Structure 1
Amino acid sequence: MGFAEEHRKWVEEHISRRTGERRGRLKRGHGHGERMFLEKVWWPMMGHLNDLHPEYEVLDWRSRPYFVDFVWKPGQVKFAFEVKGYGPHVQNTDRTRYRQELNRETYLQIAGYRVVAIPYDDLEASPELTITLLRPLLMPYLVLKLEEEEEFSRLERDILRIAVRSNGCIRPVDLVKELGIDKRTAIKGLSLLCNKGKFSPIILEKSGRVCRYEYKHSFKDDQLW
């Protein structure tokens, strides 16, 4: 299923579960910038919209409702994503409103959210940059979720963590150096993870040999990228 159809179903599902202002805010607030973030960044990176909540209501320090563009809750962790344009957020002439916005971001962090600002201009001009910045930020939590859902040996967990630090691609020699294991054990561990769908071998065209392995970030059967 493509992005457009999946996005339509996702929005309709969230609308159907809401009432009152929460429902109205989703209809009004989920606009062009938010959709562009999903289509150009989140969908290419994740491949689905699971655990992502649009126009998510949070009470601020005054117990007043505040709606975050997106909240991602894959488990215990909570991320708050705000798509920010230059005009409304930098050149805002309402200084009181601007201060309140900054205070809300601080309060969100106090409430346990990791706050991430997404520049609107980057969504238009260079969404690949946003993906590049988000991947290493989110990958540790993707690994934790994978470990919760599936059984991994200690060696397999160590390999997954190294893959995260290595931006997703590793060679057997990297495992030999970091884990102090022999090359045969490294290749065996990588092969087992390939069978579990967590890695894919990268094969050299000329020799046909496997030169390195790419970590496939996934929730269950959904490939993240």
Structure 2
Amino acid sequence: MSEFEQAHQRFLDDHLTHRIGERKGRLLRGHKYAEKLLLQNVWWPLFGNFDDLHPEYEIYDWNRKSQFLDFAFLPPHGRFGVECDGFQSHIKDMDREGFSYSLNRDTFLTGMGWKMIHFSLDDVQHRPEVCRMLLQLVVGPHLLRSAPPPSLSPDEKEVIQLAIRLGRPIRPKDLIAQCGLNFRTARKQLHSLAAKDILRPIGRGTVVRQYELQPEAWQHLL
């Protein structure tokens, strides 16, 4: 059994263990070929895990009518509904009332703070790289927000404070003059803060002579 197959089985077993009634029945009935293929071709190659992902997730519309999303992705920042739509079942066999309801449901969920992501079964089967690119485009910024802030040494925090006081781009010679550092240590600290995306290098080509604070740099002092 492949690593994906093992992880997928654990994923389903865990959710089945914690569900009862219709929610459990819906998972048993609804998580089939298309949903598994979406995980195998799109989700697993991109993330390598099923953290914060919930299959056959129950939501309610504006009339408190129960509906189920193929998947809900619920990281610390953001709520995403992920659907795999087959042409036959979702479009060709849909009547006008069903078509209107589908559009209104997505609009309602958008108003409630959800981001809805739809993939066609054809793309999941034959063009999964496009699906992965689009999925990453939508959820990537939210995952970056949920990443823990980098740890800073007292010396690095002192550099940030000095840059704030200067009110202009900071240079190695500022650290030499104000903090008593030698050039090598001053440059190393500035490089470290740039690598943590707290300072932005300014220069021409590969020559960097000064650094400016990123807009949210002050938050690292809290």
- Report the TM-score range of the alignment, normalised by the length of the smaller protein: 0.5 to 0.7
Q: CA deviation at 1:36?
A: 0.7
What residue in structure 2 maps to residue 18 of structure 1?
Answer: 19
1:129-144 alignment, distance < 5 Å: 129-144=130-145
Sort the Cα spacing of 1:182 and 1:34 in 2 relative to 1 into closer, same or farther, 3 A. Answer: farther
1:33–1:120 contact (8 Å) kept in structure 2: yes
* Structure with bigger RCO (C-alpha 8 Å, 6+ apart): 1
1:91-106 alignment, distance < 5 Å: 91-106=92-107
1:72–1:78 contact (8 Å) kept in structure 2: yes
Task: Count residues with an aligned counterpart.
Answer: 168
What residue in structure 1 maps to residue 210 of structure 2?
Answer: none
Sort the Cα spacing of 1:147 and 1:181 in 2 relative to 1 into closer, same or farther, 3 A. Answer: farther
Sort the Cα spacing of 1:86 and 1:59 in 2 relative to 1 into closer, same or farther, 3 A. Answer: same
SS across alignment from 2:88 = helix
Which aligned segments of 4 or more residues in structure 1 are displaced greater than 3 angstroms?
150-153, 180-193
Contiguous gaps of at least 5 residues in structure 2: 157-168, 173-186, 198-222
Calculate the TM-score normalised by the size of structure 1.
0.67
Contiguous gaps of at least 5 residues in structure 1: 157-179, 194-225
Higher radius of gyration, 1 or 2: 2
Calculate the TM-score normalised by the size of structure 2.
0.68
What residue in structure 1 maps to residue 203 of structure 2?
Answer: none
Deviates more, 1:96-105 or 1:63-72: 96-105
Q: CA deviation at 1:60?
A: 0.8
Distance 1:111 1:30 in 2: 25
What residue in structure 2 maps to residue 118 of structure 1?
Answer: 119
Q: What's the RMSD between the two structures over aligned residues? A: 2.7
What residue in structure 2 maps to residue 60 of structure 1?
Answer: 61
Q: CA deviation at 1:152?
A: 6.1
Distance 1:181 1:44 in 2: 41
2:82–2:118 contact (8 Å) kept in structure 1: yes
Q: CA deviation at 1:141?
A: 1.1
1:92–1:98 contact (8 Å) kept in structure 2: no
1:199-214 alignment, distance < 5 Å: none
Distance 2:58 2:94 in 1: 25
Amino acid at match of 1:97: G
Q: CA deviation at 1:85?
A: 1.2
Identity of aligned residues (%): 34
Q: CA deviation at 1:45?
A: 0.5
Distance 1:182 1:48 in 2: 42
